[in-house]
Amino acid sequence: MMPQMCEGRVVIVTGAGNGLGRAYALDLAAEGACVVVNDLGVGTHGESGATKGAAEKVVDEIRAAGGRAVANTDDVTDWEAGRRIVQCALDSFGGLDAVVNNAGFVRDRMFVSCTPDEWDAVLRVHLRGHFCTSRHAVDHWRARQKAGSPVDARIINTSSGAGLQGSVGQSAYSTAKAGIAALTLVQAAELARYGITANALAPNARTRMTETAFAAEMSRQEEGFDIYAPENTAPLVSWLCSAQSAEVTGQVFELKGGRIRLSQGWTDSPEIDKKARWSAAELGPIVRRLLDARAPAKPVYGTA
């Protein structure tokens, strides 16, 4: 029998009642992790009670397969709830090694139609939702490190191709996911001293959120390899939560089926330096030269 990748590790997975989160929780448990299955039970647009009991169902699956898990239904956007989620792991399993921030929903809308309430709701669940639980987890890990105990901890965030290159009809969602990619870079830089790594995922998979916008493209395959199955992303999550990933931090992983790559993010292009102030009249030809010299950007989703 092969050794389990996450034996003895304790992992929180938010939004783990369905889709990608469920796949992560099941795979982590199969790899030996003790899992806190967090899910508030809301729908794809944040409607209350749409999937009540989802966390408990995933826990039942894990336990039926011989794994260890507990359900948690706290709201990841609530500061004190974030504390309770972390405490749930400590009380249930005696420790915490990783937080997988997966919870989120969409309010797809063209920018000209997006309302302030929709904008705020999407940014709250994704950005604040990535903050609250992780901040309390970091407080726990930092206290352990300062007390002289070894820390080998993980934060795994969820960005998106929409955040890395934009997506038509998803201005709020794209903004939030871009913020999460930047947050990951900052966390990696700041938290390394405490024994904490931070990485992000940009999965391309079939979930409740993609089934409406990309239903035809991401439909389930009857035969052969199911490229968009959420289970395809789960092994990377288990590896990132394991001790084996200790040297990897500050990365954004893009996945689709069996294809995996690292996002290069924003990077410098060729430049022109006049060694003096430009006049407005000079800048038209200069900008065109810069545009011609740089590598072409990936197109915004929905434009090609």
CB 113 within 8 A of CB 155: no
Which of 160, 171, 174, 263 is flagged as catalytic? 160
CATH superfamily of 10-262: NAD(P)-binding Rossmann-like Domain (3.40.50.720)
State the 10-residue block means of pLDDT for the chain, 304 residues long. 87 96 98 97 54 89 98 97 98 98 92 95 97 98 97 97 92 96 98 98 76 54 82 97 98 95 91 97 97 91 85
Do the Cβ atoms of 14 and 133 come closer than 8 Å? Answer: yes
Strands across the sheet with 68-72, in order?
68-72, 34-38, 10-13, 98-100, 153-158, 196-203, 252-256, 259-262
Per-residue tokens: 16? 């783990």
Alpha helices in 11-128 (DSSP H): 19-30, 54-64, 79-93, 116-123
Beta-strand (E) ranges in 124-169?
Answer: 153-158
Q: Is 177 a catalytic residue?
A: yes
pLDDT value for 208 = 54
Distance of CA 157 to the CA centre of its chain: 3
92 a catalytic residue? no
257-268: per-residue pLDDT in tens? Answer: 999 999 998 889
Nearest to 237 by CA among 1, 16, 55: 16
pLDDT at 211: 52
Out of 134, 167, 177, 228, which one is annotated catalytic?
177
pLDDT at 274: 96
**Catalytic residue at 301?**
no
- What residue type is assigned to position 146 of the chain? K
Distance CA 246, CA 251 (A): 12
Three-state DSSP at 257 gives: coil
Q: Tens of pLDDT along 95-117? A: 999 999 999 988 899 999 999 99
Predicted pLDDT of residue 220 = 62
